[in-house]
Amino acid sequence: MIRAIDFKEDILYLIDQRRLPIHEELFECKTHSEVEYAIREMVVRGAPAIGATAAYGVVLAAKEFMNDNKEDFLGKMNDALDFINKSRPTAVNLMWAIKRMRNKLSEYKDLDTKQIYTKLKEEADIILKEDIQTNKQMARHGNEVIPKGATILTHCNTGALATAGYGTALGVIREAHYTGKDIFVYADETRPRLQGGRLTAWELVKENIPAKLVADNAAATLIRDGKIDVILVGADRIALNGDTANKIGTFMLSVIAKRYNVPFYIVAPVTTIDFDIETGEDIEIEERSSEEVTHVFGNRVAPMGIDVYNPAFDVTPHENITGIITEEGILKPPFKESIIKIKK
């Protein structure tokens, strides 16, 4: 299984997703600042993967400050948690993981710093392990809506690289493939950072899942021509009413899917639901640098002097979503009711 995140002897090893698929290299983090950098610069990306990485960032912080006195240790840990929490704004799994680690820190604050470090490491390991189990559960539920011989369209990267392993939407695709459903996948390349072209395509090729890569603007034609049976995408944050923030371009796909009656599913763990916000209007959408649009692999493709608008995510309104596939089962509209029912 592809493992994007691995923690051994106080070093966090991340597959450097900026370099794939040309270079398969590991990026090493030995400090919490390096973890913050890795999330901000998208060495690691994808909502659940960011959450698990952040948890190990907290472990590394505890290691760094272990020899300080307790008061300094707790003060520095608090700053480190805040620092990592702000590394990216949209995927709520980051804030969820930091909150979970903060709660552990507070639960064990009376232990000595070495023991606190051990407790935090145990918690990060659990987060990583739980994410893989959750993905497998989602995959089993999701597989129920995949007809035999289905052609599936997906956007961005929602696979092993975007999670602790297996994936969300790509996890369902894996499950359908490995249970002999004889599926075919169209993967959007996902400009500007090409998570589909570089990462999803890499995972599909590695596992021999029959697929074609398409430019994002080919999706409408495929859907209109009746070539797509179901659309599966991931999520970065889901509001109580079901509005879903995901990679830019997802909203556009959902509109076309609705126009041509193609089922449109979100696949996401419960940790991606933000129970504190009512609608997608409350989701902060990250805007990234203009270079992501003006350049491709470091080469300028737009003229000097052009201004750029580069939102990394958009919000798909709940009315465009057929169902939300979670580890707790498939949530159906009205989403507010089904989401509240699974609140833990």
Q: How far apart are CA 198 and CA 155, in angstroms?
A: 12
Q: What is the DSSP letter of 267?
A: E
Residue 162 near ligand MRU by CB under 6 A: yes
Is 236 one of the annotated active-site residues of the chain?
A: yes
Q: Encoding tokens for residue 289?
A: 């640098």
Q: Encoding tokens for residue 191?
A: 């400009």
Residue 254 near ligand MRU by CB under 6 A: no
What's the 3-state SS for 282-314?
HCCCCECCCHHHHEECCEECCCCCCCCCCECEE
Q: What is the DSSP letter of 273?
A: B
Among 4, 20, 48, 264, binds ligand MRU (CB under 6 A): 48
Helix (H, G, I), strand (E, B) or coil at 334: coil
Among 158, 200, 244, 316, binds ligand MRU (CB under 6 A): 158
Residue 53 near ligand MRU by CB under 6 A: no
Query: How would you classify the pairing of strands 299-300 and 295-296?
Result: antiparallel
**Phi and psi torsions of 231, nearest 5°:** -115, 130
What is the spatial order of strands in the sheet that 264-267 belongs to? 211-214, 184-188, 151-154, 230-233, 264-267, 323-326, 329-331
Region from 2-10, 156-164, 212-220, 317-325 binding ligand MRU, contact rule CB under 6 A: 156-164
Q: x/- contact string, 190-219, with ligand MRU (CB under 6 A)? A: -----x------------------------
When the beta carbons of 44 and 62 are compared against ligand MRU, the nearer one is 44
Among 121, 198, 237, 247, binds ligand MRU (CB under 6 A): 247
Minimum gap (Å) between residue 71 Cβ and ligand MRU: 36
Among 46, 192, 280, 323, binds ligand MRU (CB under 6 A): 46
Catalytic residue among 236, 243, 274, 314: 236
When the beta carbons of 187 and 339 are compared against ligand MRU, the nearer one is 187
Residues found near ligand MRU in the complex (CB under 6 A): 45-48, 91, 156, 158, 162-163, 168, 195, 234-236, 246-247, 312
Catalytic residue annotation:
236
